Amino acid sequence: MNNVIDKKFYDLIDEIKSKDEQSIFDYMVEKFNAIPVQTQKNIEIFFNQFSYWGELNLEEKNYGFLKEKAKVFKNNLNDYVWLYENLKDYRSKALLYAITNNYYNFDFENLKKTTEYAFSHYFDLNLIPKCENEVFVDVGAYTGDSTLDFINSYGKNCYTKIYCYEITNNNCALMQNSFLNFENIEIRNRAVFNKNCKLCFNENSVSSSANRAVEGNDSNVLAVCLDDDINEKITMVKMDIEGGEKQALEGMKNHIKTNCPKLLISVYHNNVDLFEIPKQIISYNKNYNLFLRYFGGCVFPTEIVLLAIPK
């Protein structure tokens, strides 16, 4: 250990490691109950709108999300350590410490300190200073906001082709409008998955950005794997598909192996993506450096982005 961030992270890991699962859970419940009541209620409302991390019902004292966190801590601490030791800058390491300490201690301050304000969501100019002739794939394109951020960050000449994948019809229509003055942007109204099939459209009542395509009986969404759907070399992928990222990455395994595209992947939609997705990518191609950046709020970690950049 060479600095304070290292010491804080490993001390935290050692503290969690010294406890059994029930003790971890009891401790986190105590820390959660110590934060302001209104903040607790805001988290409850948020969890009821976006059911990614487990249950929270204050009236019934149901802290299911903390049970899930305690289980992951007990079973996967070595994965947290693996990720920490494979991150390539201390900004990423400080963020991983902040996320872990938020889960365990409901620490808001360190999360606030590690929030990205200088650059657009996904596009850190320190890590990717320039883009030329990119074949950019926006998976979970929503209304095209990330694609526009990409162009605004690197200029109109930064790409030769852009593919936007989006499952919500209205969002695709909005993109058609937004991209009228741009060339070589193709909007594909379909899901990205680990096989070519049909999936069910799962609509979120709060925001169409959280609509999902999931397996089920009422299948009405065309799903494709990128290895089959795009034949040319892919150079950059942004992905935010509400927990479907691992399946989508599996469906572009050959592109990752052969093209080694820059990967900008959301890793916060469940309790294990934070470390499972980087391990998945490295299992396909070891020629990546790993970084984390944060674009969310300071109460509960969302909008965590893994940047896998070719060495």
> Using one digit for the tens of pLDDT, what is the confidence trace for 203-213?
776 777 777 77
Tens-digit pLDDT profile for the chain (311 aa)? 679 999 999 999 999 999 999 999 999 999 999 999 999 999 999 998 888 998 999 999 999 999 999 999 999 999 999 999 999 999 999 999 999 999 999 999 999 999 999 999 999 999 999 999 999 999 999 999 999 999 999 999 999 999 999 999 999 999 999 999 999 999 999 999 999 988 888 777 677 777 777 887 777 889 999 999 999 999 999 999 988 999 999 999 999 999 999 999 999 999 999 999 999 999 999 999 999 999 999 999 999 999 999 99
158 vs 148, 152, 162, 235, 309, CA distance in Å? Answer: 12, 10, 10, 11, 17
- Look at the chain and report how many structural domains it folds into: 2
CATH number at residue 153: 3.40.50.150
Rounded CA-CA distance 189/173 in Å is 10
Q: Is 122 exposed, middle or buried (0-12, 13-18, 19+ CB in 10 A)?
A: buried
Rounded CA-CA distance 17/212 in Å is 35
Q: Is residue 143 located within the same domain as residue 97?
A: no
How much is the pLDDT for 202? 76
Q: Is residue 108 located within the same domain as residue 138?
A: no
Q: Is residue 200 located within the same domain as residue 163?
A: yes
Q: Is residue 53 located within the same domain as residue 103?
A: yes
In a domain, 100, yes or no: yes
128 vs 49, 116, 160, 246, 263, CA distance in Å? Answer: 34, 15, 17, 23, 11
Q: Residue 183 belongs to what domain range? A: 134-266
Q: Is residue 258 located within the same domain as residue 151?
A: yes
Q: Is residue 193 located within the same domain as residue 107?
A: no
How much is the pLDDT for 1? 64
Q: Is residue 255 located within the same domain as residue 139?
A: yes
In a domain, 165, yes or no: yes
Q: Is residue 163 located within the same domain as residue 90?
A: no
In a domain, 51, yes or no: yes
In a domain, 25, yes or no: yes
pLDDT digits (tens, 9 = 90+) for 182-219: 999 999 999 999 999 888 887 776 777 777 778 877 77
In a domain, 59, yes or no: yes
In a domain, 167, yes or no: yes
Of 113, 142, 158, the last residue of a domain is 113
Which pair of structure tokens corresponds to residue 231?
């034949």
Which pair of structure tokens corresponds to residue 175?
């993109």
Asked if 306 and 295 touch (Cβ cutoff 8 Å), the reply is no
In a domain, 35, yes or no: yes
Q: Is residue 70 located within the same domain as residue 149?
A: no
Q: Is residue 84 located within the same domain as residue 207?
A: no
For residue 35, give the DSSP letter.
S
How much is the pLDDT for 216? 78
Q: Is residue 49 located within the same domain as residue 162?
A: no
Beta strands in 103-166 (DSSP E): 134-139, 159-165
Q: Is residue 28 located within the same domain as residue 100?
A: yes
In a domain, 145, yes or no: yes
How much is the pLDDT for 217? 75
